[in-house]
């Protein structure tokens, strides 16, 4: 068996892809973002609620797509809750690093997200791993606009 | 039965004898693009090493040879399609360009506000988007023949849909995601009865089974060379002479003009009228070589071979838990699209690739059909005459392993 | 000076080592199409023998390799042209298709009745007819910068012609019949001053001298691969990102869409927006190899070499009675168009061919210019870096013989 | 020296190309035809006057082009004068034969036109040799229409 495959699809990842955490939609007061990868059809609807203190109060997602995109979204929502914008951005940067380049010691703050490091051996799958994060990045950009209900056109 | 030595045929394809990710390459992405036999690659090399020059404009030896090779390829393609004459063959980059040519030139001349373009729900984006654009420009409307539960066209709806307002009925010969073979002659007959022009998208059928435009009774037919052993960037539009000659020119430039003054120009007849500028000469020469190669095996023989593999694949896939094959049981071409409960097409394709198996996963440029079928895409295995039963078995084994892996 | 071993360079071109009509081939029809070095032919063979698959859509190894090769070629072309990014490069079949793309998409969005398209009197049909068609569709008018007695543009007229009504100024970098090198940067500057968009036809300059879109300051630039050692059917349009992104799509089909429903579609940004369907993948890969090959010699070096041959040819032709060279004395590219009193261009070309010498005779897709110059056409010798001074002497000897023969 | 070239450009041919006979236009009562080879720019304006008896009474041409097209036109005008339609058509057929295929014994009625047999070694030049003849063929088609002054569009 291919060890690259085993690293890519670790049991935690398959588990998150099958039973995603924080799956759903935040009804009130959240920023909603739609994201997709047109070439593969992966889609995500992300809702992010920012607290009065500017911290990420809640994150939920709905979506369909491959195991990598679903697991990445699920793990992301778990890790982002309670983070400040600065920390969240730092996490985004760190996550992008581990799925694209060799990182000797992946930062501990990424927690189980580090299990997605196997993606870097599969360059065509990086966009799957990044889908939820790109949506979150957009949510950050629109944080100032206050709660939205519209979805983002591509 | 046929007496083809398939192992010898397979040996004509240098690319197949390689390892991918440590495993022998098992190429089952033929519906996306076929591989090229040595005969076609050599035709390119010979062209560039002996005959290369610009066509039509020259009075020197190389230019004559290049022109003869280019026009000779046109004659081969015309015969291959059963066209009445070589003048009915316009070389294009492929299916997509050929369909856009028709939508833009025939469409500009013959389609008006309120007219209807009839398509089917199983069209590739290349036989859908050009017509959407034409509809937007002209105010014409699009209608679609529905795809029934079993993956075939809902032909009982044809009477309602194919009305006198229909100016064009454009449909695929073989669906690239469902594998459905459409009854093209019947569809052309029905269209003719209401005075509609027909365009057959032969991208998936051209190198796979006998295709004869006069038997089909179509007005236009579009195909790509790269799916029938020919070079990328080659392909053609067949158009009935009468229609081609009634169409305004497309691109302006060298070779398509009769006279040019600073103010205005007059244009040649088809096919030159639609081939402005220096064409893909070597591409056409390679396409001619591919025609010879395929005819050397025989399209009926190829169809039989691909069908046998498909039947075997259907049987093997049927044994796998949670695997559901899309498309009809019968009257289908050499490709199988399926879903696997345990794995999304992209995960499955990545898994397969690690085992040397080239499959394709996704919407296959059939986004609206996938949406209608409520599928996030499918995984597709598509066969060609160089594939073997042993390869199909290997594929099935890899997929069985995937079922376990992703369970 | 440079230290290129030209004999070794010449040996890279297998086609040149042949006899034509019993004489060593003397290929001087490079302005029509150049020959291909082994490096480019091998790039094609390697692509088809190792990496061939469809691009972009696949998650398997061959598809990744094909995509990397295709997109890698785009990066090479972008660098070769000095473009700001690879997104500014749209692959096309060649110059003609690139110009038609601009005339149709940019033209549809930005040109209105009464607007002016400014061209020059020395444009190739490919940079004239597309604009005539656009003018006819939109009611725009064409204007022409005259060609002066000496074969250069009458730049003193530019002030009158380049008014605020001019939306597009499209001109050739090097005239394919006169050899004139136009002052492109100056023309682009003048156009910018009145808010006109510029398109440079670089068909004749692309492989012959340094071409840098940002130094030129042009908005669009079109060229053909087949004139710069690359395969037929390859070429590109450079467009400033801002302009490309403001243009409506061109052909509809696979690869250029973001979403498709049965009713409507949304489109990708450039360059994908303008590359519907399966592209000429191998053609692009070959173009990338040609860029590498040419950069290995150096475009400044090539220019120097071609210029030396041209000067020598001008000197030798000057000795022949009744032979008149067209075009300017200075600032000219590596081609020489001339008339011979004793012989019509076609008779001369046939005569030359019998001596193994490939020349071109005729209007060179410059019909209106020939009419203006009251010429029934010219005979053209065009040089490339694999030609030698000895070959120019042999050409001159053959032409001298023709003078006697037809006298 | 190439013998093919010597055969193609025999001295009679070069002579006719330089000093074409029957060069000009028939002012009255003639059928006028314009012909060209767009790919090479050769042009011809042919005027043919048919007598009351249906015979070719006079033929003149004006044109520019290569030696082959000019010599062929010049020689043709000389040979056609006084011919019946049937003879003229026969001549056209016979001439087309000698410039395209090997003819063991070219018919004597062609006279000096037989000197153009060298063209068959040069397939790209056949259209040059045939230009005047194609124009004449058109004139025959329009014989019944009576005299015209219009020229034929391509
Ligand atoms: C100046 C010029 N423009 C345009 C073209 C057309 O190029 P292509 O036929 O490769 O499209 C040519 C070559 O024939 C040319 O010389
Ligand atoms: C049914 C069908 N139509 C059209 C196309 C488009 O062909 P191309 O991309 O070669 O233009 C394809 C292939 O992708 C196809 O399968």
**CB-based contact B217:B199 (threshold 8 Å):** no
With touching defined as 3 or more inter-chain CB pairs under 8 Å, the answer for chains A and D is no
Question: Is C292's pLDDT higher than 90?
Answer: yes
Give the Å distances, CA to CA, from D99 to A41, B63, B111: 64, 21, 47
Domain of A86, in residue numbers = 3-150
Among C58, C67, C53, CA closest to C275: C67
B76 C-alpha to center of ligand 1: Å? 27
pLDDT in tens, A73-106: 999 999 999 999 999 999 999 999 999 999 999 9
Question: Is B177's pLDDT higher than 60?
Answer: yes
Q: Is B400 on the interface with C (CB under 8 A)?
A: no
pLDDT classification of D153: cutoffs 50, 70, 90: very low
For residues C164-168, give the mean pLDDT.
98
Output the pLDDT for position A149: 46
In chain C, what percentage of residues exceed pLDDT 90? 96
Cis previous bond, C125, omega within 30: no
Structural domain count of chain A: 1
Among B281, B324, B310, B297, CA closest to B389: B310
Output the pLDDT for position D148: 58
CA distance A62 to chain C (A): 19
Measured at the CA of B134, the angle between CA C91 and CA C235, to 5 degrees, comes to 10
**CB-based contact C42:B337 (threshold 8 Å):** no
B94 touches ligand 2 (CB under 6 Å): yes
pLDDT in tens, C50-73: 999 999 877 899 999 999 999 999
Which burial class, exposed, middle or buried, applies to C97 when counting CB atoms under 10 A from its CB (0-12, 13-18, 19+)? buried
Question: Mean pLDDT for chain C?
Answer: 96
pLDDT in tens, B355-372: 999 999 999 999 999 999
Output the pLDDT for position B137: 95
Angle separating helix axes C389-406 and C299-318, nearest 10 degrees = 30
Q: Residue D115 phi/psi, 5° resolution?
A: -65, -20
Two tokens, residue D125: 């030049």
Question: Mean pLDDT for chain B?
Answer: 96
pLDDT classification of C242: cutoffs 50, 70, 90: very high
Question: Is A150's pLDDT higher than 60?
Answer: no
Q: Which of B345, B354, B363 sits opposite A5 (nearest CB)?
A: B354
Best A36, A62, A67 residue to mutate vs chain B (most B CBs within 10 Å): A67
pLDDT in tens, B284-342: 999 999 999 999 999 999 999 999 999 999 999 999 999 999 999 889 999 999 999 99
CATH of B41-296, one of 3.40.640.10, 3.30.450.20, 3.40.50.970, 3.30.465.10: 3.40.640.10
The neighbours of chain A, by the rule of 3 or more Cβ pairs under 8 Å, are: B, C
Q: Which atom of ligand 2 is nearest to the CA of B174?
A: 1
**SS3 sequence, chain D?**
CCHHHHHHCCHHHHHHHHCCCCECCCCCCCEEEEEEECCCCEEEEEEEEECCCCCEEEEEEEEECCHHHHHHHHHHHHHHCCCCHHHHHHHHHHHHHHHHCCCCCCCHHHHHHHHHHHHHHCHHHHHHHHHHHHHHHHHHHCHHHCCCCCCCCC
pLDDT classification of B7: cutoffs 50, 70, 90: very high
Best B58, B65, B259 residue to mutate vs chain D (most D CBs within 10 Å): B259
For residues B395-405, give the mean pLDDT.
98
Domain-by-domain residue ranges, chain C? 6-30+298-406, 41-296
Q: Which of D8, D9, D41 sits opposite C362 (nearest CB)?
A: D41
Residues of A numbered 72-101 whose beta carbons fall under 8 angstroms of chain B's beta carbons: which are they? none
Mutate to test the pocket of ligand 1, among C102, C103, C203 (most ligand atoms within 8 A of CB): C203
Active-site residue, C365 included: yes
B172 touches ligand 2 (CB under 6 Å): yes
Q: Which of B27, B59, B259 sits opposite C346 (nearest CB)?
A: B59
Question: Is C369's pLDDT higher than 50?
Answer: yes
Best A124, A125, A151, A152 residue to mutate vs chain C (most C CBs within 10 Å): A124
Closest chain A residue to the Cα of C64, Cα to Cα: A124
Output the pLDDT for position A36: 87
The neighbours of chain C, by the rule of 3 or more Cβ pairs under 8 Å, are: A, B, D
Q: Which residues of D touch C351 (CB under 8 A)?
A: 5
Among C391, C343, C382, CA closest to C364: C382
**CB-based contact B238:B220 (threshold 8 Å):** yes
Q: Is D63 on the interface with C (CB under 8 A)?
A: no
Q: Is A144 on the interface with C (CB under 8 A)?
A: no
pLDDT in tens, D10-54: 999 999 999 999 999 998 889 999 998 877 778 999 999 999 888
pLDDT classification of D149: cutoffs 50, 70, 90: very low
Question: Is A115's pLDDT higher than 60?
Answer: yes
Find tokens 């061919």 and name the residue: C353
Provide the b/e sequence for B120-142 (b: ≥16 CB within 10 Å).
Answer: bbbbbbbbbbbbbbbbeebebeb
For residues C113-133, give the mean pLDDT.
98
Instruction: Return left, alpha or beta for B253; rule: phi > 0 is left, psi -120 to 50 is alpha, else beta.
Output: left
C203 C-alpha to center of ligand 1: Å? 5
Q: Is B75 on the interface with C (CB under 8 A)?
A: no
Output the pLDDT for position A3: 87
The neighbours of chain D, by the rule of 3 or more Cβ pairs under 8 Å, are: B, C
Question: Is A153's pLDDT higher than 80?
Answer: no
Question: Is A42's pLDDT higher than 90?
Answer: no
Output the pLDDT for position A64: 87
Find tokens 């990424």 and name the residue: A110
Question: Mean pLDDT for chain D?
Answer: 90
Between chains, do C257 and A39 touch, taking CB under 8 Å as contact? no
Output the pLDDT for position A151: 41
pLDDT in tens, B35-92: 999 999 999 999 999 999 999 867 899 999 999 999 999 999 999 999 999 999 999 9
Question: Is D84's pLDDT higher than 80?
Answer: yes
Class of domain B6-30+298-406: alpha beta
Question: C84 Cβ partners below 8 Å, 6+ apart?
Answer: C214, C240, C241
CATH (domain of A64): 3.90.1010.10
Q: What was the ipTM of the complex prediction?
A: 0.94
B281 C-alpha to center of ligand 1: Å? 15
**CB-based contact D154:D40 (threshold 8 Å):** no
Question: Is D66's pLDDT higher than 60?
Answer: yes
pLDDT classification of A147: cutoffs 50, 70, 90: low
Closest chain B residue to the Cα of A11, Cα to Cα: B406
User: Which residue has its alpha carbon closest to ligand 2 atom 7?
Assistant: B95
Output the pLDDT for position B280: 98
Q: Is A18 on the interface with B (CB under 8 A)?
A: no
């Amino acid at each position: 068996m291919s060890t690259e495959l085993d690293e890519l699809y670790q049991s935690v990842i398959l588990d998150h892809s099958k039973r995603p955490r924080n799956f759903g939609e935040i009804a009130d007061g959240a920023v909603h973002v739609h994201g997709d990868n047109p070439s593969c059809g992966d889609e995500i609807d992300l809702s992010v609620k920012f607290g009065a203190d500017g911290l990420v109060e809640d994150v939920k997602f709905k979506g369909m797509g491959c195991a990598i995109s679903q697991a990445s979204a699920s793990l992301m929502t778990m890790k982002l809750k309670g983070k400040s914008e600065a920390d969240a951005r730092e996490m985004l940067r760190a996550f992008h690093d581990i799925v694209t380049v060799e990182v000797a010691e992946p930062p501990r703050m990424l927690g189980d997200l580090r299990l997605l490091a196997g993606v870097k051996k599969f360059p065509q799958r990086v966009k799957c791993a990044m889908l939820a994060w790109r949506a979150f990045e957009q949510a950050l950009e629109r944080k100032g606009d206050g709660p939205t209900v519209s979805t983002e056109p591509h | 039965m046929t007496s083809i030595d398939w192992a010898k045929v397979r040996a004509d394809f240098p690319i197949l004898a390689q390892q991918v990710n440590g495993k022998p390459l098992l190429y089952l992405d033929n519906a996306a693009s076929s591989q090229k036999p040595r005969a076609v690659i050599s035709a390119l090399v010979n062209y560039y090493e002996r005959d290369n020059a610009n066509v039509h404009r020259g009075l020197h030896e190389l230019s004559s040879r290049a022109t003869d090779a280019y026009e000779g390829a046109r004659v081969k393609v015309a015969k291959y399609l059963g066209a009445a004459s070589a003048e009915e063959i316009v070389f294009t980059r492929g299916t997509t360009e050929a369909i856009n040519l028709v939508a833009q030139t025939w469409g500009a001349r013959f389609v008006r506000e309120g007219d209807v373009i009839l398509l089917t729900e199983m069209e590739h984006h290349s036989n859908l988007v050009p017509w959407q654009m034409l509809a937007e420009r002209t105010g014409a409307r699009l209608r679609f023949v529905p795809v029934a539960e079993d993956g075939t066209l809902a032909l009982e709806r044809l009477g309602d849909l194919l009305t006198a307002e229909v100016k064009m009925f454009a449909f695929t010969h073989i669906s690239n995601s469902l594998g459905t073979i459409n009854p093209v002659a019947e569809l052309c007959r029905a269209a003719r009865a209401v005075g509609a022009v027909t365009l057959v998208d032969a991208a998936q059928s051209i190198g796979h089974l006998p295709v004869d435009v006069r038997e089909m009774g179509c007005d236009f037919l579009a195909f790509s060379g790269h799916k029938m052993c020919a070079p990328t960037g080659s392909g053609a539009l067949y158009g009935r002479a009468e229609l081609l000659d009634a169409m305004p020119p497309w691109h302006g430039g060298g070779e398509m003009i009769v006279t040019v003054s600073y103010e205005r120009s007059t244009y040649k007849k088809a096919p030159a009228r639609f081939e402005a500028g220096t064409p893909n000469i070597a591409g056409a020469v390679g396409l001619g070589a591919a025609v010879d190669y395929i005819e050397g095996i025989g399209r009926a023989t190829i169809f039989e071979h691909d069908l046998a593999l498909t039947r075997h694949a259907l049987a093997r896939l049927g044994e796998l838990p949670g695997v559901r094959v899309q498309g009809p049981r019968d009257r289908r071409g050499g490709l199988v699209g399926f879903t696997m409960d345990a794995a999304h097409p992209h995960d499955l394709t990545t898994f397969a690739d690690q085992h040397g198996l080239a499959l394709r996963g996704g919407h296959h440029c059939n986004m609206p059909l996938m949406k209608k079928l409520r599928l996030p895409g499918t995984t597709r295995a598509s066969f060609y005459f160089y594939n073997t039963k042993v390869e199909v078995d290997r594929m099935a084994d890899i997929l069985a392993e995937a079922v376990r892996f992703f369970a």
